[in-house]
């Protein structure tokens, strides 16, 4: 069974996330949540505290502004853990560490699918070919499924990463096997009125860069990028109608087409 953990910043968003998870679930799952009454970005502390209550084989750490779009998402996650045996599974990530968020590493390193709002419409950002499991170095903490036995040995590092930044990256860098899947589609977005609500006292990400890089002896962009980066954006309607494989085929056809004089 899967246990979902959420730190609630906005109850309306949380209720939307929970409803989408229930509506699209194949079977029962447990949900643990805690309301962030102080407005502090202490993700790792909340996650570690709630994870101690979990009994399922897999813990899903999910932000309250996520929506589950894939039917049977829990069955898909369970099958991938059984088949590929990852410590951590996400929906978007990077094959290298290059600071900042996963997409800051560049499209040539990014993998996965993510749905969001773009110019007033719902679009899907496609990064890479359709695959059930793609090994990566790090995944984004907006939604990450973690094997409970791994978390019990390697909980989130509260000493070094106590706010919003790098608690997820650090956990991934301590894992043996991390990956993303194209079989799971989520939407990650806040209504406009929620943007810019993070505490002004929060430390900038630049504070955490040297801590993470020293802890894991990191160098940036340590591997060669793929020759033809795949990163395209299509409407959710087009994605559902044509599928990822066709969308990527048309993108590659256009990207590789010779430029006329």
Chain centroid to CA 106: how far? 16
Candidates 71, 36, 66; CA nearest to 50 is: 36
Residue 254: predicted pLDDT: 81
Q: How many domains does the chain have?
A: 1
Rg over alpha carbons for the chain, rounded to the nearest Å, is 18
pLDDT number for residue 89: 98
Question: pTM of the predicted model, to two decimals?
Answer: 0.90
For residue 44, the model assigns a pLDDT of: 87
* 260: in domain: no
| Residue 261 located in a structural domain | no
As a whole-number percent, the residues of the chain with pLDDT over 90 amount to 59
Within a domain: 9: yes
Identify the H or E element spanning 82: helix 73-84
Q: Is residue 12 part of a domain?
A: yes
Confidence at residue 198, expressed as pLDDT on a 0 to 100 scale: 54
Parent domain of 189: 2-255
Render pLDDT for 138-151 as a digit per residue (tens, 0 to 9).
999 999 999 999 99
Instruction: List, in order, residues 6 or more apart from 238 with CB less than 8 Å away.
Output: 247
6 occurs within a structural domain: yes
pLDDT, residue 241, reads: 95
Using CA atoms, how far apart are residues 252 and 249, in angstroms rounded to an integer? 5
CATH number of residue 162's parent domain: 3.90.550.10
Question: In the chain, which residues have pLDDT < 70?
Answer: 37-41, 99-105, 191-202, 220-228, 256-261
194 vs 85: CA distance, rounded Å: 37
Strand 178-180, strand 110-118: pairing: unpaired
pLDDT at 91: 96
pLDDT on residue 260: 45
Residue 54, in any domain of the structure: yes
């Amino acid at each position: 069974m899967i246990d979902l953990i959420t730190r609630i910043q906005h109850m309306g968003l949380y209720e939307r996330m929970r409803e989408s998870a229930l509506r699209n679930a194949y079977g029962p799952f447990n949900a643990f949540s805690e309301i962030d009454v102080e407005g502090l970005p202490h993700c790792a502390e909340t996650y570690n505290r709630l994870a101690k209550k979990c009994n399922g084989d897999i813990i899903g750490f999910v932000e309250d502004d996520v929506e589950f779009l894939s039917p049977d998402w829990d069955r898909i996650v369970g099958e991938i853990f059984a088949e590929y045996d990852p410590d951590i599974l996400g929906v978007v990530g990077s094959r290298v560490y290059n600071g900042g968020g996963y997409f800051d590493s560049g499209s040539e390193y990014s993998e996965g699918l993510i749905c969001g709002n773009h110019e007033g419409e719902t679009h899907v950002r496609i990064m890479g070919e359709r695959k059930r499991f793609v090994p990566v170095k790090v995944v984004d903490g907006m939604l990450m499924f973690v094997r409970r036995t791994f978390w019990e040995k390697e909980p989130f590092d509260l000493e070094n990463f106590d706010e919003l930044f790098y608690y997820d990256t650090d956990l991934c860098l301590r894992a043996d096997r991390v990956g993303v899947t194209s079989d799971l589609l989520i939407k990650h977005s806040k209504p406009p009125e929620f943007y810019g609500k993070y505490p002004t006292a929060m430390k900038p990400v630049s504070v955490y860069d040297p801590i993470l890089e020293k802890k894991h002896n990191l160098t940036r962009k340590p591997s060669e990028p793929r020759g033809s980066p795949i990163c395209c954006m299509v409407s959710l309607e087009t994605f559902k109608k044509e599928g990822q494989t066709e969308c990527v085929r048309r993108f590659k056809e256009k990207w590789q087409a010779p430029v006329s004089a």
